Structure 1
Amino acid sequence: MKTNNIARIQICPFCGNSYRGVPATSRKDGKTPICPDCGTREALESIGVSKEEQDSIIQTIHQCEQRGL
């Protein structure tokens, strides 16, 4: 029987937060599964986006997810 990653609660090794869904792969080592927020942060950081702007972008993503967009 296949397990469904989307239903499982996982803990991100970077931030320690729990999350559901498909994990991102860390850019730091190319293999560690991390939460989508940390994956987004790593991607934004790699193009020079400030921590404050990262927070704003992630907040917007969460608001869109809550609205079902």
Structure 2
Amino acid sequence: NGRCTTMKTDKPVSAVCPLCGKPYSDVPALSRTDNQTPICPDCGIRQALESIGVSTEEREKILSVMHRKFPM
């Protein structure tokens, strides 16, 4: 179902992203900064786009379109 779940139940596991401070329950991304910190999917997308030189404004536009087409 695309969400983090506990071993004993199918309830989503909530976490708070250490980068943006927002709660999330989807499968976390791995921070590109240290390759070990779990971050929210949106911050993972932001880091990936930043790594290929996409501007901050364009990154936010891309995320906005993604949320319209694929609600997260």
- After TM superposition, the score normalised by the length of structure 2 is 0.82
User: Do 1:25 and 1:32's aligned partners in 2 also have CA atoms closer than 8 Å?
Assistant: yes
Partner SS state of residue 33, structure 2: coil
1:30 to 29, 35, 48: 35
Give distance in 2, aligned partners of 1:54 and 1:35.
15
Q: Does 1:50 align with 2:50?
A: no
Quick one: structure 1 residues 55 and 7, their matched pair in 2 at CA, closer, same or farther if it must change by over 3 Å?
A: same
Give the SS at the match of 1:15. Answer: coil
Q: Aligned-pair RMSD on alpha carbons?
A: 2.0
Give 1 or 2: higher helix fraction: 1
TM-score w.r.t. structure 1 length? 0.85
**4+ long deviations beyond 6 Å:** none
Unaligned runs of 5+ in 2: 1-5
Please list every run of 5 or more consecutive structure 1 residues that lacks an aligned counterpart in the other structure.
none
Deviations 1:28-49 (A, max 9, x none): 0000000001000000000000
Distance change (3 Å), C-alpha of 1:6 and 1:13: farther
Quote how far apart the aligned CAs of 1:6 are. 7.1
